[in-house]
Structure 1
Amino acid sequence: MTKRLSDPTLQASDVDMISTDAGASPKKTKVSHDTKEQVDAYTISSPFLKDSRFEILYMATRARAETPRLLLEFVGAKYTSAAPVDWPASKTDTPFGLLPLLTHLKPDGSVFTLSETASINRYLAGLFELDGETLEEKAIVDTCYQCANDNVLNTFMSEVWVKGDFNNKENLDKAFEKIQPFLDGVERYLVKNGSNGYFVGSKTTYADLEWYEWIDHFATSYEDRQESMCSETNRPALFKLYTRLKQNSRLKAYAEGGRWEFRPTEPLLSLYSTGVVTENWERSFEFYTKTCGMECVFNKESVMCGEGARYMEFVVNSQEKTKFTVFCFGKSPKPCAESGKANADISFTVRSVQETHDRLVKKGVEFKMPPTKVPWGYMAQFLDPDGNLLTINSATSFDSEA
């Protein structure tokens, strides 16, 4: 499972929320923003929310989970962004068999789970007071949010995404034409509030974050349409909302940090195997099967590493997922010859070998084998400080016919 942990240390003075008890909702208090010093700086003061942890389960993409992530980033909450490992088999673990799924781990040990994007956003907004103050303000926030979450989403789903070609000019022209009334509508709400970059008052709400995400998606994916859609001269109030949140220190750090692509903090999904290197694979085969009673589930020549090379996998029993491997170097061509003959050979499963390689290189890891195409996907290898060989493999099983 890939995870990304937000940085809870990025806190500043903005909102003071006090909980009456550990299980109660935070008490409403006055919200203020000091935009001269920081853009929408936000501090969690409630012990209940400070000690709460959240998890958003969704695929490693923006889509329906990005606004909940942005909301948690904005307030500086402790949360992880996780991707399911066994999907769709794990659908039964969710209320409706759908993602995203929010899990709220409360300080008292109780757990609350919630499905459906709109419900998740409204729940988080209620916890962190990112909503209107009055009934009318709440209604304005809700209608502006729903316009994006329903109308804009459905338009792009029907006109662009379900048709496969996301860059088809004719499809995009139809989609952007159809969303013009929605953009004009939210512009009017923003102008009515004084064109200050907020839908209500001078306070960020979940509707602000939803529209920020849509405009940011358009700006990064369809840059050529930005000027006519939302700019200083076209819908300037909406553009002000976008640029205001674009300057927010937490949202900026989140985007520049690579969003979900480079942030899980734990790059490894699971331990695939651990094993040894041998000089005589036949002797090792006899030892681990007949002497140790293990079952050999994979036994093939390793064409990548020269004549005589062999790779084998053993399990203690049929229920065992982690493999014990035995590898015999042959007359090894590069890159195998350069990877070193370590005494230990440990393999981890990752979602993307290339992305994990790039992230580890940034941390100073020197790879002996760069990301390389192999019959089962991709792999790369590096050494730990003691010279043990560590392998990362793409998250696919070995192809027995390869």
Structure 2
Amino acid sequence: MPILRPLTFSPYTRSILQLRHTRLPALPRISPYTSAFTMTKRNSATGTNDANDVDMTAVDQGSKKPKICDDVFAYPKDEYTIECDFLKNSRFEILYMATRARAEVPRMLLEYVGANYSSATPVDWPAGKKETPFGLLPVLTHVKPNGEVFTVPEVPALTRYLGRLFGLTGKNFEEDAILDACFQSATDNILNVLLMEVWMKPDPKNKECIDTAFEKLVPIFDGFERYLAANGSNGYLLGEKTTFSDFPIYDWLEHFYKEYPENAKALVSETVRPSIYKLYKRFDSNPRIRAYIDGGRWEYRPASPMISLYSTGVIVSNWDEAFEFYNKKLGLKCVRNVEVGGDGGRYAEFVVNEQEKTRFTIYTSCKDTEIPKHNGGISFTVRSVKDTHDGLVKKGVSSKMGPTKMPWGEMAQVADPDGNVLTLNSGP
């Protein structure tokens, strides 16, 4: 018969069991472990301060009593001030594509607290995947005052990391569980509904698809409403303090009100789920958040609605002659050749090489879409101005200006059969 031994625990295990629902003490310092991953586009951080890492006790936002000037903040408790020297002297970088998507929540959080941060885009992607922890973006880099670099991948992890640093978390396990649930639902569940019901459909603007999506969003927003109502319907998930889970809820609503205004108003308004609406208005009136949105959001996306140059081109009179000139003599690759309107109208797009995003177009009008004739001016970068110019002249291309020295380098000009001037420039 086996001998029964009394159950014993190590001192460490006993200490864990004794915690039960008590609050864990704040960690005095950040973890000494740092990521080995770096981005080749960014120079290695070299700190000038040789002092050891300073106290990293999380900022208790709720205990601060900020000074309110001229009633700028509609919600005074949202005037966040960084009081910890460690965070004042820290720098952050969010590496992501030049779009909102998955990086907008951590960007907005850093704007809210007034942190020293920058948005960056990868120089060489997808080749740069191997230099990130999981081959995915976004990635957060925290450069500490002493020059130590800590890298965090994955949106939930990096957002929670920022939340803990800046005191935007709960005060116990139960509160943190609520925040985690709301954050997960806002970042994943809402996204999944939009992906399946709208963005992956043949026509993402189809009203029926959009209506179906918003019907499926109702249970999710009912959940947010219950948590907010349980907290007093004051616009906060916990007490009267902003938490990291508030940001994705606001970010979605801000997007909905702009892209699907009627559906958004039916989902959340002053009378429909009013507790969520208070959270929305609280963020929307925050001066830092407002300035961030109105100012163009980040340096890689100016306030202008234009994203990039799609194409530039010329109008031609003889389609066959022009097509042979640009395709055969200049050696441009045709990526689109379509009939426009009727009775002879044609449109074509060319690229210099497979990597070129900007298209060169030629267009000949038809009777229904007559366009005034004019000569355009297009500039190409070439490896050798003289060789390119002389080679085209040998093919019968008309020269307008031979290779000439300019302040920026060398240039020459030739003309197509319609007289459109094409400039040949030396590379930078």
TM-score (norm 2): 0.60
For 2:202 and 2:402, the matched residues in 1 are separated by 43
Q: State the 1:170 CA deviation.
A: 2.2
Q: Offset at 1:253?
A: 0.4
1:320-355 CA deviation, whole Å, 9 max, x = no partner? xxxx95212468999989x9xxxx9886xxxxxxxx
Q: How far apart are the structure 2 equivalents of 1:257 and 1:18? A: 37
1:262 maps to 302
Paired with 2:191 and 2:65, the residues of 1 have a C-alpha distance of 30
CA distance in structure 2 between the aligned counterparts of 1:224 and 1:184, rounded to whole angstroms = 18
| Structure 2 counterpart of 1:86, one-letter code | D
Match of 1:319 in 2: none
Task: Supply the AA of the counterpart residue of 2:400.
Answer: G
Structure 1 pair 157–311 and aligned structure 2 pair: CA distance change class (3 A): farther
Q: Distance in 2 between matches of 1:253 and 1:335?
A: 45
Given the superposition, is the C-alpha separation of residues 204 and 284 from structure 1 closer, same or farther in structure 2, using an over 3 Å criterion? closer
The Cα offsets for residues 296-331 of structure 1, whole Å up to 9 and x where unpaired, read as 9x9768xxx98435789xxxxxxxxxxx95212468
Residue pairs, 1:342-353, within 5 angstroms: none
Q: Provide the C-alpha distance between the structure 2 equivalents of 1:208 and 1:306, rounded to a whole number of angstroms.
A: 64
Q: Which has the higher contact order (CA 8 A, sep 6+)?
A: 1
Query: 1:121-136 to 2 correspondence within 5 Å?
Result: 121-136=159-174
Cα distance in 2 for residues equivalent to 1:244 and 1:205: 13
Closer, same or farther: CA 89–224 of 1 in aligned 2, 3 Å: same
1:308 corresponding residue in structure 2: 400
1:203 aligns with 2:241: yes
Query: In structure 1, how many angstroms separate the alpha carbons of the residues matched to 2:200 and 2:248?
Result: 22
Other-structure match for 2:254: 216
- Equivalent pair of 1:101/1:114 in contact (CA under 8 Å): yes
In structure 2, the residue matched to 1:271 is: none
Which of 401, 411, 417 aligns to 1:327? It is 411
Corresponding residue number in structure 2 for 1:25: 56
Which residue of 1 is the match for residue 124 of structure 2?
86
Aligned to 1:111: 149
Secondary structure in structure 1 of the residue aligned to 2:400: coil
CA distance in 1 between partners of 2:107 and 2:303 (Å)? 12
Aligned residue identity for 1:207: S
Indicate if the aligned counterparts of 1:300 and 1:310 stay in contact, CA closer than 8 A. no
Secondary structure of the residue that 1:326 maps to in structure 2? strand
* 1:165-213 CA distance string (max 9 Å, x none): 3212222122111110010011011011011100001001111111000
How many corresponding residue pairs?
A: 289
Task: State the identity %.
Answer: 45
Q: Report SS of the residue matched to 1:165.
A: coil
Partners in 2 of 1:76 and 1:94 — Cα distance?
26
Partner of 2:85: 47
Larger radius of gyration: 2
Which runs of 5 or more structure 1 residues have no equivalent in the other structure?
1-16, 269-280, 287-295, 313-323, 348-402
Quick one: structure 1 residues 251 and 299, their matched pair in 2 at CA, closer, same or farther if it must change by over 3 Å? Answer: farther
Question: 279, 291, 299: which is aligned to 1:253?
Answer: 291
By how many angstroms is 1:84 displaced?
A: 1.6
Give the letter aligned to residue 127 of structure 1.
Answer: L
How far the C-alpha of 1:100 sits from its partner, in A, is: 0.7
Structure 1 33/230 Cα, relative in aligned 2: closer, same or farther at 3 Å?
farther
CA change 1:30–1:155 in 2 (3 A) is closer
Deviation at 1:64, TM superposition (A): 0.5
Write the distance in 1 (CA, Å) between the matches of 2:141 and 2:403: 41
Q: Which residue of 1 aligns with 2:183?
A: 145
Other-structure match for 1:185: 223
Q: Secondary structure at the match of 1:56?
A: strand
* CA distance 1:130–1:257, change in 2 (3 Å): same
Once residues 54 and 419 of structure 2 are traced to their aligned partners in structure 1, the CA distance between those partners, rounded to angstroms, is 60
Q: CA RMSD in A?
A: 3.8
The aligned runs of 1:389-400 (5 Å cut-off) are: none
Q: Is the 8 A contact 1:44 1:50 kept in 2?
A: yes
Report the CA distance shift for 1:166/1:85 in structure 2 as closer, same or farther (over 3 A): farther
TM-score normalised to structure 1 length:
0.63
* Amino acid paired to 1:177: E
* 2:282 paired residue number: 244
For structure 2, the 5+ residue unaligned runs are 1-25, 30-51, 309-381
Structure 2 equivalent of residue 398 of structure 1: none
